[in-house]
Amino acid sequence: MSAVALQRPSFTTRAMLSFFDSLVVARRNLMQIVRVPAVLVFELVQPVMFVLLFRYVFAGNIAGMDAIPGGYVTFLMPGIIVQNAIFGATTTAIGIAEDLKSGLVDRFRSLPMARPAMLAGRATSDLIKNFILLLVVIGIGYLVGFSFKNGFLGALAMIVLVMAVSFTFSWVMATIALAVKKLEAVQAAAFTGIFPLVFISSALVRVEGMTSFLRPVARNNPITYWANLARYFAIGDFPGMGGSVEHLILWSAIWIGVLLAIFMPLSIRLYSKLT
């Protein structure tokens, strides 16, 4: 054994290698989309269905939209896009659970690669996948009457916000997958947790129209902050924003920061302590 080999790699070297390893893993995950494009197509069914259902079934029955320029569809689309970012992150949980089941996680954990890179790579590839889904959903939105009304920078800001939400939820989902482990249970756990969270928010409807005891819950739901901010970026000021833009940006950022600060280290810890 040479003396060089005995030295522990420096922090910088390890950080660089972690980044590099994450890219290798992300690339591997993205190959699935190339090899089995049907998976991506199926994943598109749900958001498209939501857009169409809410646009054509619910739209006429949802009150309080007269003040929104363009009506309900303009209100709905940014919310649906935030919802998709969160639903789209469940593939992180499913992907990790599948790798656990197939034994690939054992292989990765026995390699000299940086351990967090397996999770970071998954979060990165899902971010790219969710970006593709986002563009398609925006396209569908345009087909059913939605349009951006706050300029190009506004639209860009919305996309950045939505991607940040998606990335954050990937780490929440990674934690769920590593805690629950069994594929079927992971699927159930991921969706059961997310559904009430998304529906008791301003993603799809106004908070003011909810039952009184749900309103405070919905107002403080991080998804409400994100949906309202996304809405502002997409269409500008609208009634029911629930505060100034600065207020929305602050709380959106705080929630993203808090969730990342909890779930990134937690999932990495669960991963390295897997049995």
* Binding positions for another protein, rule: CB under 8 A: 1, 5-6, 8-9, 17, 20-21, 24-25, 28, 31-32, 35-36, 101-104, 106-113, 273-275
Question: Which of residues 29 and 267 has its CB atom nearest to another protein in the complex?
Answer: 29
Buried b (16+ CB within 10 A) or exposed e, 128-166: ebbbebbebbbebbeebebebebeeebbebbbebbbbbb
Question: Which of residues 9 and 139 has its CB atom nearest to another protein in the complex?
Answer: 9
Question: Which of residues 76 and 118 has its CB atom nearest to another protein in the complex?
Answer: 118
Cα–Cα distance measured from residue 267 to residue 274, given in angstroms and rounded to the nearest whole number: 10
Alpha carbon 157 to chain centroid distance? 16
Question: Which of residues 220 and 272 has its CB atom nearest to another protein in the complex?
Answer: 272
Find the angle CA(86)-CA(92)-CA(98) to the nearest 5 degrees. 145
Cα–Cα distance measured from residue 39 to residue 144, given in angstroms and rounded to the nearest whole number: 25
CB of 137 to another protein, least distance (A): 25
HEC assignment per residue over 11-73: HHHHHHHHHHHHHHHHHHHHHHHHHCHHHHHHHHHHHHHHHHHHHHHHHHHCCCCCCCCCCHH
- Residue 224, C-beta contacts closer than 8 angstroms, at least 6 positions apart: 201, 202, 203, 207, 218, 242
Give the Å distances, CA to CA, from 28 to 180, 183, 187.
24, 20, 22
Question: Which of residues 110 and 212 has its CB atom nearest to another protein in the complex?
Answer: 110
Cβ burial, residue 112 (10 Å; 0-12/13-18/19+):
exposed
Question: Which of residues 41 and 273 has its CB atom nearest to another protein in the complex?
Answer: 273
CB of 36 to another protein, least distance (A): 6
CB of 173 to another protein, least distance (A): 20
CB of 189 to another protein, least distance (A): 19
CB of 275 to another protein, least distance (A): 6
CB of 136 to another protein, least distance (A): 22
Length of the chain: 275
Question: Which of residues 22 and 166 has its CB atom nearest to another protein in the complex?
Answer: 22
CB of 106 to another protein, least distance (A): 5
